[in-house]
Amino acid sequence: MMHAVLSNSRHPEYGQLTVPFPIPRGAYDDTVAALASLGIGDPVGRDCRVDELNSSFLILKRLEKVAVNVDELDYLAKRLDSSDINEAAKFQAMTVKWGLFEMTDLINLTFWCQQARIITDFSDLEDIGRRHYMPLNGGSCSTEELERLDARKAALDLILNSESTCVTPYGVVYPAASPPPRASGPGGFTAASRAKRQTRRTWPSSSPTRSARRRPCTP
What integer pLDDT is reported at residue 6 of this predicted model?
98
Average pLDDT of the residues in 141-146: 73
Highest mean pLDDT among 127-136, 193-202, 209-218: 127-136
**Average pLDDT for the chain:** 80
Burial 8-26 (b: 16+ CB within 10 A, else e): beeeeeeeebebebbbeee
Q: Which of 70-74, 106-110, 117-121, 199-203 has the lowest mean pLDDT?
A: 199-203
Spatial CA neighbour of 22 closest among 192, 203, 208, 187: 203
- The per-residue pLDDT for range 87-138, each reduced to its tens digit, is 999 999 999 988 999 999 999 999 888 778 888 888 888 888 887 777 666 5
Count of positions (residues) in the chain: 219
Share of the chain above pLDDT 90, in %: 47
Average pLDDT of the residues in 41-67: 96
Average pLDDT of the residues in 181-194: 39
Written as one string, the DSSP assignment of the chain is -EEEEEE-TT-GGG-EEEEEESPPGGGHHHHHHHHHHTT---SSS--EEEEEEE-S-GGGGGGTTSEE-HHHHHHHHHHHHT--HHHHHHHHHHHHHHT--SHHHHHHHHHHGGG-EEES--S-HHHHHHHHHGGGGTT---HHHHHH--HHHHHHHHHHH-SS-EEETTEEEE--SSPPPPP-SSSHHHHHT---TTS-----SS--SSPPPP-----
- The per-residue pLDDT for range 163-174, each reduced to its tens digit, is 778 889 999 888
What integer pLDDT is reported at residue 157 of this predicted model?
83
Contact 97, 200 (CB under 8 A): no
Spatial CA neighbour of 94 closest among 118, 78, 61, 72: 118
